[in-house]
C-alpha cells in the first residue's frame, strides 16, 4: 500500500518541528522571502511552485531535490506514487547524502545501527 505523499507544507512543518527554525530562519537558509514561507505554511489548498523555488527549498532544508520535487507535485494536487519499497538503490544514495549532516556522535550511532541490521540480514 502506498503512503500519502507529503506536500511542501508537510516537509516545512516537519523541519520546523525538528529544528525549531522560524519562518525567518527558513527564509535565510533558502534565499526565499519570509512572506513566501508564511504563505506556504498558511496554504490549505493545492498550489504549484516554480522549479527554482522548489530547488531553493531543497537546498536550504538539506533535503534531496527529488523528495522536494515529489512534494511539489503533491502540493499541486498531482497524483504522486510513493512506493512501499525502492525499486533501485536510490535510498542508499539519499541516506549517504543525509549522513553528511550528522555530528560525529550521531554518525557513530547510525553506523552501529546499520551494522546490526546488516548482521541481522546475514
Q: d(Cα 50, Cα 60) in Å, to the nearest integer?
A: 16
Which letter, b or e, does each residue of 62-77 get, where b requires 16 or more Cβ atoms within 10 Å of its Cβ?
Answer: ebeeeebbbbbbbbee
Q: 14 with 66, same domain?
A: yes
* Per-residue pLDDT at 80: 65
Would you say residue 66 lies in a domain? yes
Q: Worst-scoring range by mean pLDDT, 47-51, 59-63, 69-73, 93-97?
A: 93-97
Q: 44 with 101, same domain?
A: no
Instruction: Tell me what the mean pLDDT of segment 53-82 comes to.
Output: 86
CATH no. for residue 17? Answer: 1.10.260.40
Instruction: Tell me what the mean pLDDT of segment 2-23 comes to.
Output: 89
Q: 63 with 116, same domain?
A: no
Q: 31 with 70, same domain?
A: yes
Q: What is the pLDDT of residues 28-67, one digit of tens each?
A: 999 999 999 999 999 877 788 888 899 999 999 999 888 8
* Per-residue pLDDT at 69: 86
DSSP state, residue 2: P
Count the domains in the chain: 2
Which residues form the domain of 60? 8-75
Amino acid at each position: 500500500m502506498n503512503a500519502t505523499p507529503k506536500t511542501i507544507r508537510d516537509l516545512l512543518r516537519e523541519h520546523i518541528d525538528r529544528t525549531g527554525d522560524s519562518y525567518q530562519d527558513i527564509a535565510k537558509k533558502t534565499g526565499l522571502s519570509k512572506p513566501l514561507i508564511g504563505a506556504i505554511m498558511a496554504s490549505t489548498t493545492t498550489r504549484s511552485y516554480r522549479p527554482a523555488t522548489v530547488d531553493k527549498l531543497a537546498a536550504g532544508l538539506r533535503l534531496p531535490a527529488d523528495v522536494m520535487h515529489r512534494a511539489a507535485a503533491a502540493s499541486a494536487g498531482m497524483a504522486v506514487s510513493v512506493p512501499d519499497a525502492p525499486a533501485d538503490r536510490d535510498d542508499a544514495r539519499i541516506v549517504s547524502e543525509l549522513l553528511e549532516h550528522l555530528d560525529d556522535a550521531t554518525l557513530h550511532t547510525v553506523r552501529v545501527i546499520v551494522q546490526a541490521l546488516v548482521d541481522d540480514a546475514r
